[in-house]
Amino acid sequence: MSEVLLAQLALGVPLGAAGLLAAVPMLRRSGKPAAAVSVLAATASLACAVMLLLGRLDGGDAVVSSARWIPVAGSTLVDVGVQIDGISVSMALIVTLVAWAVQVFSVGYMADEEDAAFGRYFTYHSLFIFSMLTLVFAPNMLQFFGGWELVGLTSYLLIGFYYQKPSAARAAVKAFWITKAADMGLLLGLILLYVFSGGFAWTAEITAEQATLVTALFFLGVMGKSAQFPLHIWLPNAMEGPTPVSALLHAATMVAAGVYLVVRCDPLFEAAEATRTAMMYVGGFTALFAACIAVVQTDIKRVLAYSTCSQLGYMICALGAGSLLGGYFHLTTHAFFKALLFLAAGSVIHAVHSNELKDMGGLAKKMKVTTAVFVVGALALSGFPLLSGFFSKELILEALFESGHWVPYGFLMAAAFLTAFYMGRVVLLAFFGEPSEKAAGAHEAGPSMLVPLVLLAVPALGLGFLAANFAAICGEAYSFHLTPTGVAASVLAVLGLVLSYLVYGSKTIGEHAFSALRPVAQLIRSGAIDRFAASVYSRNALALGAFVAWVDRYVVDGLVNASAALGLNAGRKLRAVQTGNVRDYVFVLVLGTAVLSAWSLLS
Amino acid sequence: MSLVGYLLLAAALFCIGIYGLLTRRNAIGILLSVELMANAVNINLVAFAAAHGDHLGQVFALFSTAITVAEVAVGLALVILVFRSRRSVLVDELGELKG
């Protein structure tokens, strides 16, 4: 089969599944059969992606197949189709593999849901695969934008999956409108790009100043989607959705769409020095800031959510420093180990029926497989030597080191230490130590949940060794060499793990040693930062809304009401003419005829 | 008789018709007045046709007569229906359409 056909199948089959489930309520509400349709579609999509990747192990030129879309005077505004190259193919494999694993996991995880909700859940998942691949295979930025908005929609639908719960409904709306506000930047950037270059090509040729302006606007959209400070506040709330959703959308793939955008627009960002510097500082600060918050969270999903913010900060920072491979490779490794961590956390939550770390503890004896894969994920995330995260993080830190920007470099190094610390904390609190009341009856999950976990643990463990192959697929060069930065980062990671063991494992260092930090922790835990940010946004949004409402009420509605009042009053005055007496009408008729005759005779 | 004589007759008939139209209270009277006016026009048509030696005018007069008959039929039907519901055909009493 040709590459184009494979890509179209990868896109079309999940769309067909979503369409079928949406159009046939009987099938959707039937539960298990609906899930089967969706999982089969995901499997087909995954198979296509694997075949595509196998054909591109040595890179190769991009293949574009597109049809004309949106005709404008004499030509077309934009094409729609698929662009197949190393980057889109590898991203497609990440998306379909994680999506497949998450769907299979969900069959077990969501088994307690009612049939109708179960089917609805899988309909959204099929729609998500289609949306995300639309974005990944986009041959130009306008199709990319369409996919970008579609994944935003599925994110909204899946965060609000438990829509009966007010907090989930609020979280969905919050995620939707914060990302939507940021998307205005992306949209403006697209419009400007069209004005400057006359198209939406990935490699538009514009001057450095224009590129700076366009990429700065793009970066605004990226900050929203990829949860960069200060637009990160929606991501922790997004944890209201089911845990597998958090794994797929809010850790592995959708939030990485922002990073993917920067990777795709590399030539534009290459030219925009100022934007890249801003990206380094924003990304670096987010990495450290979110890691600090993750340390004090008591909810296992929130730890992972802030960790996702932090790791996305790493990627943005790397791309800012000009290391395309570093940012993109970290996206890849992160997708696998973070999806793994979330799914393992889902397995734990499924067993103890609580998100709180204090309700866990001592699970290692009861859930051996889950514990093993969680530890693998945690070590990979911490950048423990020879696991996948180590290689990608090392690339990023080395790029920062070479860029000579010491402030973001310092941020990232400190974040590396904190990452190891908070992951060590989660592992020790959840899986070791004394079991809590709720954890006493926990037991290992069924095969539908364990198979995806084990499957994801493989790349989390070993993907680092394939870094050179990965680079070849993306058309980049890579050779591993141990640098002082890499050694330092590994030492920091190990130190972080040791410190977490001393505090939470052996209790050698009591928590009172950190009493000086308690007010800070309290402040972070209380959510005051989020509330402040939210109040700034909402105050401005409300003021704008009030203004628009005023214009609508008094200007738009005013015009409409004025014309209606004019007609009404005129009618009221003129009705006196209608006497209802036939002889009056005849008189006017005769008089009119006489006047007209006289006029025609005289003139 | 010259053409002028016919035209004078037609004008007189037309004026009588208008007078009746404006002054009659009875709906049947009004219909009759309208008939007079229509026939004044027919006389004009025939008179001019004769004066010009062209038969087209007479053809039109025939047409006009036929249409007038139809009009009277509709008009009388209306009058009958009005009379059935109101026991009166005086137009002064038909004021429902007053605005």
Q: What is the value of ipTM here, to two decimals? A: 0.83
In 3D, which of A429, A347, A322, A422 has the Cα closest to residue A381? Answer: A422
Determine the Cα–Cα distance for residues A27 and A35; give it in Å rounded to an integer.
10
Two tokens, residue A189: 């950037």
Identity (one letter) of the amino acid at A4? V
Cα separation values, B77 from A480, B23, B94, Å: 106, 22, 16
The CA distance from A40 to A48, in Å, is 12
User: How far is residue A522's CA from residue A293's CA, in Å, rounded to a whole number?
Assistant: 10
The terminus-to-terminus CA distance of chain B in angstroms comes to: 51
Average pLDDT over residues A55-62: 78
Q: Which of A575, A577, A586 sits opposite B22 (nearest CB)?
A: A586
CA distance A354 to A299: 9
Alpha-carbon Rg for chain B, nearest whole angstrom, is 17
Residues in chain B whose beta carbon is closer than 8 A to a beta carbon of chain A?
A: 18, 21-22, 30, 91-92, 94-99
CA angle centred on A421, ends A416 and A425, rounded to 5°: 150
Is residue A216 pLDDT above 80, yes or no? yes
Q: What is the mean pLDDT of residues A482-496?
A: 86
pLDDT, one tens digit per residue, over A257-277 is 989 999 988 888 888 888 889
- Please report the DSSP string for A416-438 in residue order: HHHHHHHHHHHHHHHHSSS--TG
Q: A429 with A367: CB under 8 angstroms?
A: no
Q: A579, B30: Cβ pair inside 8 Å? A: no
- Report pTM: 0.75
DSSP A356: B
Tell me the C-alpha distance between A488 and A310, whole Å: 19
Tens of pLDDT, residue by residue over B60-87, are 999 999 999 999 999 999 999 999 998 8
Q: How do the domains of chain B map onto residue ranges?
A: 3-88
Burial of A544 (0-12, 13-18, 19+ CB in 10 A): exposed
Q: How confident is the model at residue A568 (pLDDT cuts 50, 70, 90)?
A: very high
Please count the other Cβ atoms lying within 10 Å of the Cβ belonging to residue A46.
Answer: 22
Task: Please answer yes or no on whether A576 and B21 come within 8 Å at the CB atom.
Answer: no
How many residues belong to chain B?
99
Query: Residue B32 has what pLDDT?
Result: 93
Cα–Cα nearest to A321, from A389, A382, A273, A365: A273
Distance CA(A230)–CA(A464), nearest Å, equals 31
Positive/negative CA dihedral, A299, A305, A307, A313: negative
A583 and B92 in contact by Cβ < 8 A?
yes
Q: Please give the DSSP secondary-structure letter assigned to residue A161.
A: G
Q: Which of A75-79, A183-187, A362-366, A466-470 has the highest mean pLDDT?
A: A183-187
For chain B, give the mean pLDDT: 90
Dihedral sign, Cα of residue A374, residue A377, residue A380, residue A381? negative
Name the residue facing B91 among A575, A576, A582 (closest C-beta): A582
The pair of structure tokens assigned to A386 is 């020879």
Top-tier CATH class for B3-88: mainly alpha
Question: d(Cα A484, Cα A492) in Å, to the nearest integer?
Answer: 12
Chain A: give the shortest CA distance to residue B94, in Å: 7
Instruction: Answer whether A568 touches B (CB < 8 Å).
Output: no
Distance (Å) of CA B1 to CA A179, A206, A210: 98, 97, 98
Residue spans of alpha helices (H) in A356-433: 368-382, 388-403, 406-431
Q: Is A572 on the interface with B (CB under 8 A)?
A: no
